[in-house]
Amino acid sequence: MTTLTLPLLFLADTVVLPGMVVPVQLDGERQAAVDAARLAAKNTDDNPQVLVVPRIDGHYGAVGAIAEITQIGRLPSGEPAAVIRATGRAKVGIGVNGPGAALWVETTTLDEPSVDDETRELAREYKAVLVSILQERAAWQVIDTVQRITDPSELADTAGYASWLEDERKVELLEAADPKERLTKLLEWARAHLAELEVTEKIRDDVRETMDKTQREYVLRQQLAAIRKELGEDGPDGPEDYRTRVEQADLPENVREAALKEVSKLERSSDQAPEAGWIRTWLDTVLEMPWNVRTDDTTDVNAARDVLDADHAGLDDVKDRIVEYLAVRTRRATRGLQAVGGRGSGAVLALVGPPGVGKTSLGESVAHALGRKFVRVALGGVRDEAEIRGHRRTYVGALPGRIVRAITEAGSMNPVVLLDEIDKVGSDYRGDPAAALLEVLDPAQNHTFRDHYLEVDLDLSDVLFLATANVADTIPPALLDRMEFVSLDGYTEDEKVAIARDHLLPRQLERAALSSDDVVIEEEALRTVAGDYTREAGVRSLERLLAKVLRKVTTKLAKDPSIAPVQVGVLDLNEYLGRPRFLPESQRDGSMPGVATGLAVTGAGGDVLYVEAATMEGEAGLSLTGQLGDVMKESAQIALSYLRANGARLGIPVEALSGRRVHVHVPAGAVPKDGPSAGVTMTTALASLLSGRPVRPEVAMTGEVSLTGRVLPIGGVKQKLLAAHRHGITEVVLPKRNEADLDDVPAAVLKDLRVHLAEDVSEVVAIALAAEDATARTVQAA
């Protein structure tokens, strides 16, 4: 125990326990106590101290709280005030003299006994009951503070803040120095209060349940309307307005029931509650959806085909498929046949082809031909599964998926939805969007598609989905199986000229603010640009070059308008575009043995692939360069082994291979290459090297080779033949088993190409290698 002399500060109807921090309004008596304390501590570094004694109903407490004065100032009303922090208990003693006008007393501090295990157990029980009380009162922040208190005495003294304790009981706690005694009393009082709260809540629930539901809702609605009117919140977005909008909207029955449930939740919630904002956003999304809006499809099949032909040249496969879909749908509608539950009435087409062939723009043409709304969904780089299925409404900033947003944007339930770049969809820890598309693109399942945000069934069976991709290899097999595969392999030169003349040139003339009176580009010039300045499956580079020509023409006209119209012919292209960037392959030097021309398919369409072979002194073996994949390396090894085993039969001297190293290189080493279709090309290049007979430059080949010399079938025949045609190749060697694929190749291309079908590598070598007398003449001339 310690004896202190402190000024008295009486608080009426307030009990301060150690650990509490409270503001005190200063009247004359309290101001005197504060001034006296400050005067006594003037020459010390300690905070001024007072003894705070409760005065309850005119009775003075025998024990007070020793408190430090931490701050002195004024209340917002301008009255003086001080903030005190209680630090301990002290018993009020006899009065003594002290500075100032305050009443000074001699006090004796009350020391607390040590804490034993029983006290700690009482503290744990009291903390549990106290947390239950705070939970009933929804005081979540206070719970966190209580949970962090570990000292039993400090925990007991927090009761000074409890509004459910009478001041007389707080005085008992102040006078009890032993924390065990305090906790025992508090545990009894807290349990009684918790039981009272539970009984009150039970009575409230019983009364609520016994009320008539209709009457209760009516009374609550009237009260809520009156409250909102007084608060000025009775606006157009009120719950009553939402209920009216839902009841008047043309919604499916299951959607209407879900919307009315959400409106009921909104009516019961406060405007300040986060749930109110979520519910409003959800209701707005549902009401914006065109649940029962459908456009009428065009029934004239011939007119639809005319629209497709007018918008795009070529692409007969996809045009035929669209016309077939329209014809079947029209016939079913005429006969009154409808799909049961929407099951299987939609269509999903996958347009796979190199860049620039018109896959994306074809979607707009299809919508135009069918008389439907069109909306494009870009999937390139999408990695989050929620982008397709939507976010749960509990997330901040939750939105429906892209499919739902596309239908809302289209304004009808049967639009043409273009899923652009579906092969560029990625996956990571957030999910796999391609997997979420499985239900969307399955005509047997998408009549009950469920978005995570909407959480109601959405019928997608009337939507015509078009998916575009550059390559099908990166599309998951399960997803590709749900779509009808349509290959767009590129355009012939005649088709490119037609597209440039009818579509690209008019568009670029408009962008350059020119007309046919200002510039005339001859058709032969368009053909030269397509053949000598571009080498692509599509027409993007062709359009860029036309734009470049028109920009230069515009510059000329700006300098001298009198030269209009400007004529652009073949001879003028060198001035506008420079020298041709590509020459036909047949113009290349074909006198070098060991070089063969192959055909390949890339993400940009078909292309030619050169294989070069050489032998040199050194350790026997095979070197491969050109960033080749494992399959292509194996093809080179098979080609070398086949020639070693069958060289004598083919008339090719293979003795030179003994003790020498063979090097096979595929140019463009920065580009990764793989696949089995270069097998015959590698075999031919090695046969040319060993025989000394060059490969004819006008011949290109493709096919997989086996160890026994069989030529095995490959894919991408149409794209490879189109590439050969673009590069000026006149003869192509294909596997015999790919003969059926020639039906897909345009007749104009087949007319300019001589196609050889081979079953054995010996046939390829005989076709590709130059005759021996021709080789001799070439060497003699050299």
Among 677, 688, 691, 762, the active-site one is: 677
Structure tokens at 429: 């820890």
Helix axes 630-650, 679-691, angle to 10 degrees: 40
- Residue 360 assigned as binding residue: yes
User: Does the annotation count 270 as an active-site position?
Assistant: no
Structure tokens at 348: 């999903």
Among 635, 688, 720, 762, the active-site one is: 720
- Residue 357 assigned as binding residue: yes
Strands, E, within 97-189: which ranges?
Answer: 104-109
- 260: left (phi > 0), else alpha (psi -120 to 50), else beta? alpha
User: Does the annotation count 720 as an active-site position?
Assistant: yes
Structure tokens at 90: 């002290």
- Residue 539 assigned as binding residue: no
What are the backbone angles phi and psi of residue 46, rounded to the nearest 5°? -80, 155
Instruction: Check if the beta carbon of residue 17 is closer than 8 Å to that of residue 159.
Output: yes
- Residue 355 assigned as binding residue: yes
Q: What angle do CA 309, 315, 316 make, to 5 degrees?
A: 75
Strands, E, within 76-222: which ranges?
Answer: 80-96, 104-109
Listing DSSP states for 558-607 in one string gives HH-GGGPSEEE-GGGHHHHH-S-S---GGGS----TTEEEEEEEETTEEE
Question: Exposure of 637 by Cβ count < 10 A (0-12 exposed, 13-18 middle, 19+ buried)?
Answer: middle
The pairing of beta strand 519-521 with beta strand 484-487: unpaired
What are the backbone angles phi and psi of residue 264, rounded to the nearest 5°? -65, -40
- Residue 44 assigned as binding residue: no
Q: Comparing C-alpha atoms, which of 546, 328, 292 is closest to residue 407?
A: 292
- Write b or e for each residue in 379-413: b if 16 or more Cβ atoms lie within 10 A of its Cβ, otherwise e: beebebbbbbbbbebeeeebbbbbbbbbbebbebb
- Residue 152 assigned as binding residue: no
Structure tokens at 44: 């010390």
- Residue 711 assigned as binding residue: no
Q: Comparing C-alpha atoms, which of 594, 619, 325 is closest to residue 486?
A: 325
Q: Which residues are annotated as a binding site for ATP?
A: 353-360
* Residues with catalytic roles: 677, 720
Q: Which residues are annotated as a binding site?
A: 353-360
